[in-house]
Amino acid sequence: MAARKPRTSVRGRVTIEEVAAAAGASTISVSRAFRGSARLSPDLRARIENAAAALGYVPDRAASALASARSMNVAVLVPSITNMVFVDMLAGIDAVLSQARYQIIMATTNYCPAEEQRQLHGLLAFRPDGVLLTGIDHLPGTLNLLKAPALPVVHMMELNHQVGSYSVGFSQDEGGAAIARHFVGRGYGRIGFVAAQLDPRTLARGAGFRRALKEAGLDAPYELMVPDRSSIALGATLLDRVLTECPDIEAVFFCNDDLAHGALFRCQRLGIAVPQRLAIAGFNDLPASSWTVPALSTVATPRHEIGRKSAAMLLDLMCGRTPEAARLDLGFTLHARESS
């Protein structure tokens, strides 16, 4: 017995056992005190907290996870953190999960489904209690990984219409359509769509844009789509190509604000009047968009709220509660500004 009860841990860390000894309590009571459990007299709790503070005790999540089958980790997969959109979403997620004592374990997929599966596999080693995925398009293998441990999953940014799946987002397709209708309302004739980083959400925006133009009886738009990662520099480059390939263009929908900013700056540089000579619209409403001159027309997306609500929904699922709705549409807001 003595061998099983070292008063000083082997590895030089303060363990629950030392705290228990110092507080004159049992290990399980220390464990309970740290998990905020009820069923502990104020006196014992105080003694334990004092002892823990004095010894500098830090709980060990690994041991806790192993013993309890709950890791209090949540795996989050986002395409990129260089994209402000996902950073805002992450902030929303963290706000809700850290409140509930969960820790985010995050990885980036680089917009690649295969990389998503690889990264998820890696994150599963943390035995997360739930998973947040960006988007609704995943490899079969990715979803398979989640089946065996029956992990709760919430899909973010898009709306998943598959039964049994949970999602929080808005209709990317409708967002694209909103820009199209705005262009139509302003009377633009020759219209273009420029996209990069052709992820499912970008493509959905393009589809909605096209559909709405068609519904309004207009010609199919001029389209320029490249697989490269979106950036301001790429937006500038693509604007040049648009002007070369389609000189009579009147309005262009750039699939996101990064590209639109690049195009806007390029127009300034070239002395092209926006919106008189060329109207420009973006998507997402980044902070810069309302400050550029001219201010950028764009669709504001509720990404922070998407993060919050996704986390809340996952929290429900992880606690065995049934979320109010399996699909939460948070909508979007068209901001018609000076650039169109």
Partner DNA sequence: GGCCTAATTGTTAGCGCTAACATATTTTGC
Partner DNA sequence: GCAAAATATGTTAGCGCTAACAATTAGGCC
User: Nearer Cβ to its own copies, position 199 or 257?
Assistant: 257
* 34 versus 222: smaller Cβ distance to DNA: 34
Bridge partners (DSSP) of residue 253 are: 193, 281
DSSP annotation string for 123-191? HHTT--SEEEEESS---HHHHHHHHTTT--EEEEES---STT-EEEE--HHHHHHHHHHHHHHTT--SE
| Residue 319 interacts with which of DNA, its own copies, none, CB < 5 to 8 Å by class | none
3-state secondary structure 69-88: CCCCEEEEEECCCCCHHHHH
The span from the CA of 181 to the CA of 189, in Å, is 12
Q: Is 12 in the site for its own copies (CB under 8 A)?
A: yes
Q: What are the residues whose beta carbons fall under 8 Å from the beta carbon of 176, sequence distance 6 or more?
A: 204, 205, 206, 207, 208, 209, 210, 212, 253, 283
Q: Is 74 exposed, middle or buried (0-12, 13-18, 19+ CB in 10 A)?
A: buried
Give min distance, CB of 14 to its own copies, in A: 8
Distance CA 85, CA 327 (A): 20
Using CB under 8 A, which of the segments 46-54, 153-161, 227-235, 328-336 binds its own copies?
227-235
Q: Please report how close the Cβ of residue 229 comes to DNA at its closest, in angstroms.
A: 36
* Residues contributing to the site for DNA (CB under 7 A): 3-4, 6, 9-11, 13, 15-17, 24-32, 34-35, 38-41, 43-44, 57, 59-60, 63-64, 66-70
Site for its own copies in 25-64 (CB under 8 A): 56, 58-63
State the nearest-atom distance from the C-beta of 32 to DNA, in Å: 7
* 237, 261 contact by CB (below 8 A): no
Q: How far is the CB of 184 from its own copies (least distance, A)?
A: 29
Contact between 233 and its own copies per CB under 8 A: yes
Q: What tokens does 251 get?
A: 């309005």
Whole-number minimum distance, CB 46 to DNA, in Å? 10
Query: Kind of pairing, strands 327-329 and 279-281?
Result: unpaired
Choice between 37 and 98, CB closer to its own copies: 98
For 247, the token pair is 């000189």
Under the binding rule (CB under 8 A), the answer on residue 88 touching its own copies is: yes
As a dihedral over the C-alpha atoms of residue 269, residue 180, residue 173, residue 335, rounded to 10 degrees, the angle is 60
Contact call for residue 276 and its own copies (CB under 8 A): no
The minimum distance between CB 216 and DNA, in angstroms, equals: 58
Of 127, 303, 308, 337, the residue at the interface with its own copies (CB under 8 A) is 127
Residues in the chain: 340
Q: CB under 8 A: which stretch of 19-27, 38-46, 283-291, 315-323 binds its own copies?
A: 283-291
Residues that bind its own copies (CB under 8 A): 11-14, 56, 58-63, 65-66, 69, 71, 81-82, 84, 87-88, 90-91, 94, 103, 105-106, 108, 121-122, 124-127, 145, 148-150, 231-233, 236, 261-262, 265-266, 268-269, 287-288, 291-293
